[in-house]
Each structure stands twice: as structure tokens, then as C-alpha cells.
Structure 1
Amino acid sequence: MISAEEQKQVLSLVRQTKDLILKEMKNEEVMVKGAANYVTNVDLAVQNFLKEELGKAFPDIALIAEEKENTGLSEEGTYWILDPIDGTANLILDFRMSAVALGLYEKGEIVFGAVFNPFTDELFHAAKGEGAYLNGNAIHASSTEHFGDAVISYGSTPYTKSEAKNLFPIFYNIFMKCGDFRRTGSAELDMCYVACGREHGYLERDLKPWDYSAGTIIVREAGGVVRTWKGEEPTYLTNGDILACAPQFEEILLKELAGEKKS
């Protein structure tokens, strides 16, 4: 766990990425990694900046990040988990729903997280046992009582479109029972929106650790729930099928997700 002063230092570094992001976007270069999977010079610039600065401030903490090879990881280790740009496709389209997401993993759990949208100047953060905050103001998951009023966000797992035939019937069943759906294209922002009550639930399959680590602590410290689709604790060092929601809707959503049919 890092101290309050160290947290302020990290949050300052995350905020400093805004100018870098806006500068790099002026000469944007897009590289394709796979189906619907992209990396830009913006991703690389942010990752290099935070890798260097975090390395100076916390030389004993290794970095796990999207645009690097991550090997030799131990469940008993301590790591920064970074997504330099969560929502790269949104960034390319100037959709302005992208975020820098940084989590701190310690021996099987996430103890600190920060998620920053440079386009809205919204910085979400949380530390274990200290509550969750948006730009310094406390946030809480929604207290909406009826699932029929709930707004649920989902990820369509675009990297493996063959899963659509299994996933969309589940999404349909949930949609018919909730109030409405959202699809933002940023897992970490969706989790933060659950934390501050803008959404009541978020679900997506096969998320990478950097897609959900920072958001996990923010949701939980806001009074929300984060589980795998099987109702288990995420592992954080491997891919996960993630559900984040207000606690009153956990049972309903897990029941729907348990009805998934495998091909």
C-alpha cells in the first residue's frame, strides 16, 4: 500500500498525461495489432512516460502494461498495472471516451487505482479502505432499487467475434429486464461510471488485467461489487470475464450470466 503523499504523487503523474496525449494526437499514427485491436503513438508515449516516472518514484515496483511483454509474474508480487489508453479505438475516432488507467496490485488484490479521462478532466481514484473519489469528491454506487430502472453497460468482445453467438442472447435477456443498455468502448470508464452511479452494471468477457484492475478498487470502495461471471474473485494477473455492479443487482446479473450457452 502506498501512503497518502505517494498517492498524490501518482495522481499528479496520471494528470500530467493530458498534455502528452493532446500533443501526440496532433500527429497520430495507428498500428494494427489484431482484429479490432490497435495501438497508437499516443499509447506508447503515455506508457513510456509513466514507466519512467513511476520507475524513479517507486524503483522496487515493476510495471505490467498493455504495450510490453509481461513475464515472470508472481501472485505474491507487487506491480503497477497500466493501460496507457483504455479505449484506443475511441481515441482514433476522436470519440473522447478514453482513459489512462493505473492500478496497484499487491499479493492477490488491487489496493489503489486511478482512471483519468483527459478529455473531460475527470480523475477517478480509490485506495483500499479509503473510499472512492471523482476529482476529490466522494462517489458511491447507485441505490436504485428496481432492475427495470437499471442502465447496464456491456463490452462486445470485438477481438473474438465468434463469441457473439454465445454472448448476444445473454445480452438480450438482460436488456429485456433492465432499463437500458450502454456501449462506451472503455472498460475502465464503464467501471468508474458504475462507481459513481451513472451506470448500474457493466459486463464484458475476456478483459486483460489492465482493462479492469484500476476500476476494481474504485468500484469496491464506492460500495459496488466486482466479480467474475462465475461469481468468483478476479485474478488480476490473467484475463477475466468481469461483472461490476451496484450490490443490489449482483444476484440478478450473475444468474443471467450463468445461463450462458457454450457452443
Structure 2
Amino acid sequence: MIEAQQQKKVIELVRQTKDLILREMQKEEVMVKGAANYVTNVDLAVQNFLKEELGKAFPEIPLIAEEKENTGLLKDGVYWILDPIDGTANLILDFHMSAVALGLYEKGEIVFGVVYNPFTDELFHGAKSEGAYLNDRKIHVSDTENFGDAVISYGSTPYTKSEAKNLFPIFYDIFMKCGDFRRTGSAELDMCYVACGREHGYIERDLKPWDYSAGTVIVREAGGVVRTWEGGEPTYLKNGDILACAPQFEEILLKELKR
């Protein structure tokens, strides 16, 4: 675990990406990686900046990131896990629901995380046993008791649309029992919205490590639950089916997802 002053340094580095993002968006270039999967010059600029700055400050900690080759790194140890832009499709559409997400993986768990939306200037962070915060204000998951009042966010797994015939019946059953659904297009922001009580749960299949790592520690430090759809512990070094929710809804959601 990094110390408090080191945490502040990392938070400041993530905040510094705002000007870089806004500047790079003025000359936006979009490249297609796969079905509904894009990378822009913004992603690459943010990643290069944080890779360089983190390398200076923490030369002993390697970086796992979305837009780089990670072969040989995915084993137990200590790593930064970075999504330079979570919600790239939103960025392309000028939808303003995108975030820089950085987590610190240490021996099987995420011990520190930062998620920053430069368009709203909201920065979430959390550290193991130290709480979760939004712009330095402590946050907590919702205490709503009735699942019929709960707002659940979901990811539609657009990279593998063949899964839709299996996923949408599950989503339908949950939708009919909860209050309403949301679909933001940013996994890390959804997890943070669970952490601060804007949403009561978030579900998505086949998330990559950088899609959920930073948000995990923030949700848990806000009193929430992060599980796989089978009810287990995420591995963080490979793709996972992720549930994040207020604890009072864990049993209800897992029952639906385990189908």
C-alpha cells in the first residue's frame, strides 16, 4: 500500500489529465480495435502521460493498461491497472460520461483506486481501510431498503452481441423487480455511482481488469459489495463478470445472475 502523501501525488497526476484530454479532443482521431471497440488519440495521450509520470514516481511498480501489451505481467505481484479512458465511445460522441481509472493491485486485491471524470470534475478515490471519497467528501452506498425502489445500472457487453439472447432475459427479470435501469457506458463510473448512492447496483459480464479494478476498492470502502456473478472474488488480472451493489441487495441480485 502506498502512503498518504503518495496517494495525494497519484490523485494529482490523474487530475492533471483534464487539460490533456480537452486539448487532444480538439484533434480527435478514432481507430477501430474490434466490434464496438475503439481507441482514440486521447486514450493514448493519457496513457503515455500517466505511464511516464507513474514510472518516475514509482519505478518499481509496473503498469497494466488497456492500450498496451500486457503479456508476461499477468501474474501475482504489485501493479498499476489503468484505463486511460473508460467510456471511449462516450468520448467520441461527446457524451461526457468517460473517466480516467487507475487502480493499485497488490497480492490479490485492489488497495487503492482513483476514478476521474474530467467533464464533471468529479474525482472518486478510495484506499483499503481508509474510506471512499468524492472530491474529498466521504461517501457511502445507499441505505434504500426496498429493491422495488432500487436503480440498477447494466452493461450490455456490446463486444459480444451474441450473448444478448442469454443476458437480456436476466436483465428483464431484474428490471421487473427493481425501480429502474440505467446504462451509462462507463463501468468505472457506474461503480462509483453505486459507491455514492446514485445507483444501487451495477452488473456487467466480461469486463476487463481495467474496467473494474479502481472502482472495486471505492465501492467496498463505501460499504458496498463487489462480487463475480457466481458470488466469488474477482481476480483483477483477467476478465470478470462483475456485480457491484449496496449490501442489502447482494442476495437478490446474485440469485438472478446465477441463473
TM-score bracket, normalised by the shorter chain, equals over 0.9
Q: Give the match for residue 110 of structure 1.
A: 110
The count of residues paired between Structure 1 and Structure 2 equals 259
For residues 58 and 74 of structure 2, what CA distance do their matches in structure 1 show? 18
Q: Give the match for residue 155 of structure 2.
A: 155
Any stretches of 5+ residues in structure 2 without a counterpart? none
**CA contact 1:75–1:107 (8 Å) conserved in 2:** no
Which residue type is aligned with residue 196 of structure 1?
A: C
Q: Give the match for residue 140 of structure 2.
A: 140
The Cα shift of 1:43 comes to 0.1
**Corresponding residue SS for 1:38:** strand
Listed one character per residue, the Cα deviations across residues 60-86 of structure 1 (whole Å, up to 9, x for unaligned) are 000000000102235431000000000
For residues 255 and 184 of structure 2, what CA distance do their matches in structure 1 show? 24
Which residue type is aligned with residue 244 of structure 2?
A: A
Q: Give the match for residue 127 of structure 1.
A: 127
Q: Give the match for residue 190 of structure 1.
A: 190
Q: Give the match for residue 88 of structure 1.
A: 88
**Corresponding residue SS for 1:202:** strand
**Corresponding residue SS for 1:32:** strand
Which residue type is aligned with residue 238 of structure 2?
A: T
Question: Is 1:215 the counterpart of 2:215 in the alignment?
Answer: yes
For residues 108 and 73 of structure 2, what CA distance do their matches in structure 1 show? 12
Moved more, 31-40 or 65-74: 65-74
Which residue type is aligned with residue 227 of structure 1?
A: R
Listed one character per residue, the Cα deviations across residues 132-153 of structure 1 (whole Å, up to 9, x for unaligned) are 0000000000000000000000
Question: Is 1:73 the counterpart of 2:73 in the alignment?
Answer: yes
The Cα shift of 1:258 comes to 1.0
For residues 126 and 245 of structure 1, what CA distance do their matches in structure 2 show? 16
Equivalence map 1:1-263=2 (5 Å): 1-73=1-73, 75-259=75-259
**CA contact 1:101–1:210 (8 Å) conserved in 2:** yes
Listed one character per residue, the Cα deviations across residues 131-178 of structure 1 (whole Å, up to 9, x for unaligned) are 000000000000000000000000000000000000000000000000
Which residue type is aligned with residue 176 of structure 1?
A: M
**Corresponding residue SS for 1:197:** coil
Runs of 4+ in 1 over 4 A off after TM superposition: none
For residues 40 and 230 of structure 1, what CA distance do their matches in structure 2 show? 34
For residues 189 and 21 of structure 2, what CA distance do their matches in structure 1 show? 17
Which residue type is aligned with residue 61 of structure 2?
A: I
For residues 76 and 210 of structure 1, what CA distance do their matches in structure 2 show? 16
For residues 67 and 148 of structure 1, what CA distance do their matches in structure 2 show? 40
For residues 176 and 48 of structure 1, what CA distance do their matches in structure 2 show? 44
**Corresponding residue SS for 1:205:** strand
**Corresponding residue SS for 2:16:** helix
**CA contact 1:209–1:236 (8 Å) conserved in 2:** yes
Which residue type is aligned with residue 207 of structure 2?
A: L
For residues 203 and 75 of structure 2, what CA distance do their matches in structure 1 show? 25
**CA contact 1:75–1:108 (8 Å) conserved in 2:** no
**CA contact 1:17–1:46 (8 Å) conserved in 2:** yes
For residues 94 and 247 of structure 2, what CA distance do their matches in structure 1 show? 33
For residues 210 and 121 of structure 1, what CA distance do their matches in structure 2 show? 21
Which residue type is aligned with residue 211 of structure 1?
A: D
User: Could you tell me the TM-score, scaled by structure 1's length?
Assistant: 0.98
For residues 23 and 214 of structure 2, what CA distance do their matches in structure 1 show? 25
